[in-house]
Amino acid sequence: MCLLIAKDKKMRCPSEKELHQAFETNPHGAGFAYVDNGKVIIDKGYMNWDDFIREYKTICKKYNNFKDKCLMVHLRIGTSGGNTPGNTHPYMVTTNIKQMQKLDNKCDLAVAMNGVAYDYSPEGYGYNDTMEFIRSYMTNIQKLDKKFYTRRYFREQINNLTNSKWAFLDKNDNIYTCGNFINRNNLLFSNENHVPYNDKIEKYNNHYAKYWSKY
């Protein structure tokens, strides 16, 4: 089902440990999106851990650990289209599949999804359901409203149509999500499938300790 991590300006960056756990459970490629000089940079296609963490450390050093900056990270489990570098997320919003599959892009808006858009399975092989949804639906609502992703109505509609979680990063360095993300220590995760069982129990115990102390 993939993992989507969304960092707003005042949030922390994911740790190397968290990313390693995530890559082990979502091993079919990873990518980033962030803003530089008024453009969203899409940097993706990392199919092994060493290349992925090397690039992550490089961009963290370059952008001061993304202090006061947004960051999107996606780690994929392939469900359609094949496990290729071009099918990793994030994507730009376009009808051009080959443009979506470019490993390095500059654009005004980047998107990524966690889930399976069953009603938007592509007719041919080589690209996935997320890309088909972007191509056939999202580009159309973008024509109606260039800032559709900022509108709660459109985000809820996208969530309902795909039964999936999404993140949007625009050129103004604003990040938006739709669907229920989990806040783990001031960072948004689309799920916790990568988190070891003992860590989940510890989080649960810490959360309810204040209630148990009353009894």
Max CA-CA distance within the chain? Answer: 60
For residue range 65-110, what is the model confidence (pLDDT) as tens digits?
A: 999 999 999 999 988 878 999 999 999 999 999 999 999 999 999 9
Comparing C-alpha atoms, which of 118, 147, 172, 161 is closest to residue 8?
A: 172
Comparing C-alpha atoms, which of 4, 17, 162 is closest to residue 91?
A: 4
Whether the per-residue pLDDT at 52 is higher than 80: the answer is yes
Look up the pTM and report it: 0.89
Helices 49-62 and 16-25: angle between axes, nearest 10 degrees = 150
Handedness of CA 157, 158, 159, 163 (dihedral sign): positive
Are residues 2 and 27 in contact, defined by beta-carbon separation less than 8 angstroms? no
For residue range 10-32, what is the model confidence (pLDDT) as tens digits?
A: 999 999 999 999 999 999 999 99
Give the position of tokens 């051009």: 96
Residue boundaries of the structural domains of the chain: 3-212
**Residues composing the chain:** 215
Q: Report how far residue 134's alpha carbon sits from residue 113's, in angstroms, rounded to the nearest whole number.
A: 10
Task: Choose between 125 and 121: higher pLDDT.
Answer: 121
Comparing C-alpha atoms, which of 209, 169, 79, 202 is closest to residue 132?
A: 79
pLDDT at 197: 65
Percent of the chain topping pLDDT 90 = 83
Rounded average pLDDT over 164-192: 97
At 108, give phi and psi (nearest 5°): -95, -20
- Tell me the three state secondary structure of residue 133: helix
Whether the per-residue pLDDT at 208 is higher than 50: the answer is no
Q: Does domain 3-212 have CATH number 3.30.420?
A: no
Whether the per-residue pLDDT at 137 is higher than 80: the answer is yes
Q: Indicate the helix (H) or strand (E) that contains 205.
A: helix 197-212
- Show Cβ contacts of residue 184 under 8 Å, excluding neighbours closer than 6 positions: 192, 195, 203
For residue range 180-192, what is the model confidence (pLDDT) as tens digits?
A: 999 999 999 999 9
| Two structure tokens written together for 47 | 């199919």
pLDDT at 198: 63
Comparing C-alpha atoms, which of 152, 139, 150 is closest to residue 172?
A: 150
**Across 95-104, 120-129, 143-152, least confident range:** 120-129
